């Protein structure tokens, strides 16, 4: 299978975020042979490229990332994570499912589609970064901002994130919740544990506040999104001594929020709770991205058609899970969905993708392109 060869070529490059390790130049060489005009857009030590084929009409874009998370303890891998290995009908290696298998499938699908459709109504594009698994500042966000400044847009985008759960293409992500992070410092007064009246314990002060934050119902979500949730991810305090009341408690928490809530509304509600409990505090916010949602329409119709032609049934739509670079692309105003391999092994040791799924994924992508660019579909 070409897709297997391509996936192995990419996995063999140790592109631990934000490194690209030559993955993008290899992809660019193949796209240029297909007639794509490629623009490299490096920024802040991150590799990015934007490739377009065609000069007019709506843009259908494949988007993805070449960077992978660190492999973790090598002793836990059954084989070298950057030496592709085939065992028991599966391809093993870091990035096999997230998302070098998808990148390989995108390339094969594009080659096959152009072989039978050298002329098509619209433009094909690729947006590829090496900064999706990292801080996501100089990657897709940078490319999208550049395109926006030039007055360009991405009308329809298929992101190759591993969306599948139990079987290939059983789930398509047609949206994601927003993400808002907070770092809270509860200020007290350090002192001796034997003289608590001479100190102010920030841990004790914070306990009812944290309980109030965790128990609050922020919203009820809506028909397409689950309710907004707050999760505390880290709590730190203490001086290292057992007989010292600390002067500061540090807390990190995250909101995964639906369109029923706003960033400003969540921030205001948190600050009201802190004030109601009379805390002395410092609070820093980091906004990772807004929620987005693509309702049934041209893109989802094409994707479901492609899935049904190959798998014999459509996918279930979902907006659950974490964030993705789709949140940046959606800000250009187009339709965005995510479709890729089964996600059970991503970010784990012995990451893998089934060879049967790797063979069918480019077929789904090809059929999606066929349905999307069918005569009359863009009129």
DSSP 378: T
- Are β-strands 156-159 and 59-65 bridged in parallel, bridged antiparallel, or unpaired? parallel
Catalytic residue among 132, 161, 219, 351: 132
161 as an active site residue: the answer is no
Say if residue 158 is preceded by a cis peptide, omega within 30 of 0: no
Tokens for 170, please give them: 């059983």
Burial 45-54, CB ≥16 within 10 A → b, else e: ebbbbbbbbb
Which residues have a Cβ under 8 Å from the Cβ of 82 and sit 6 or more positions away?
Answer: 11, 12, 13, 14, 71, 93, 94
132 as an active site residue: the answer is yes
Query: Which parts of the chain are beta strand (E)?
Result: 37-40, 48-53, 59-65, 85-87, 90-92, 123-129, 156-159, 171-173, 175-176, 178-187, 191-192, 229-237, 244-245, 248-257, 281-289, 292-293, 316-318, 335-338, 352-354
Angstrom distance (rounded) from CA 21 to CA 43? 16
Nearest to 124 by CA among 242, 49, 36: 36
Nearest to 259 by CA among 215, 201, 218, 298: 218
Classify 120 as helix, strand or coil: coil
DSSP 226: P
Query: Which parts of 104-227 are beta strand (E)?
Result: 123-129, 156-159, 171-173, 175-176, 178-187, 191-192
Tokens for 242, please give them: 């057992």
Nearest to 90 by CA among 350, 371, 372, 374: 350
Axis-axis angle for helices 23-33, 2-11 (nearest 10): 150
Catalytic residue among 67, 219, 338, 351: 67
Catalytic positions? 67, 132
């Amino acid at each position: 299978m070409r897709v297997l060869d391509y996936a192995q070529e990419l996995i063999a490059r140790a592109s631990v975020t934000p490194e690209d390790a030559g993955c993008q130049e290899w992809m660019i060489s193949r796209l240029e042979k297909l007639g794509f005009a490629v623009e490299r857009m490096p920024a802040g030590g991150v590799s990015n490229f934007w490739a377009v084929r065609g000069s007019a009409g709506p843009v259908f874009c494949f988007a993805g990332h070449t960077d992978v998370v660190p492999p973790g303890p090598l002793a836990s891998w059954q084989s070298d994570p950057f030496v592709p290995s085939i065992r028991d009908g599966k391809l093993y290696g870091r990035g096999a499912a997230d998302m070098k298998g998808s990148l390989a499938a995108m390339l094969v699908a594009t080659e096959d589609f152009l072989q039978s459709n050298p002329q098509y109504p619209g433009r094909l594009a690729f947006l590829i970064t090496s900064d999706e698994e990292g801080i996501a500042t100089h990657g897709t966000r940078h490319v999208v901002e550049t395109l926006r400044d030039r007055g360009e847009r991405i009308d329809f985008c298929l992101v190759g994130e591993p969306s599948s759960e139990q079987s290939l293409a059983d789930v398509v992500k047609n949206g994601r919740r927003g993400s808002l992070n907070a770092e809270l410092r509860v200020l007290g007064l350090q002192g001796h544990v034997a003289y608590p009246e001479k100190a102010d314990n920030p841990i004790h002060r914070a306990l009812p506040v944290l309980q109030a934050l965790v128990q609050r119902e922020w919203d009820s979500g809506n028909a397409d999104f689950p309710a907004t949730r707050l999760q505390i991810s880290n709590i730190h305090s203490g001086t290292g001594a057992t007989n010292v009341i600390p002067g500061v408690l540090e807390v990190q928490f995250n909101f995964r929020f639906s369109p029923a809530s706003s960033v400003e509304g969540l921030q205001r509600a948190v600050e009201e709770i802190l004030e109601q409990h009379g805390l002395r505090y410092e609070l820093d916010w980091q906004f990772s991205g807004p929620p987005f949602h693509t309702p049934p329409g041209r893109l989802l119709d094409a994707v479901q058609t492609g899935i049904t032609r190959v798998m014999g049934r459509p996918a279930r739509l979902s907006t659950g899970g974490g964030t993705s670079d789709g949140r940046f692309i959606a800000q250009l105003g187009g339709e965005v969905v995510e479709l890729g391999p089964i996600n059970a092994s991503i970010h784990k040791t012995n990451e893998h993708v089934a060879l049967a799924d790797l063979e069918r994924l480019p077929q789904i992508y090809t059929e999606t392109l066929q349905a999307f660019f069918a005569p009359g579909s863009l009129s």
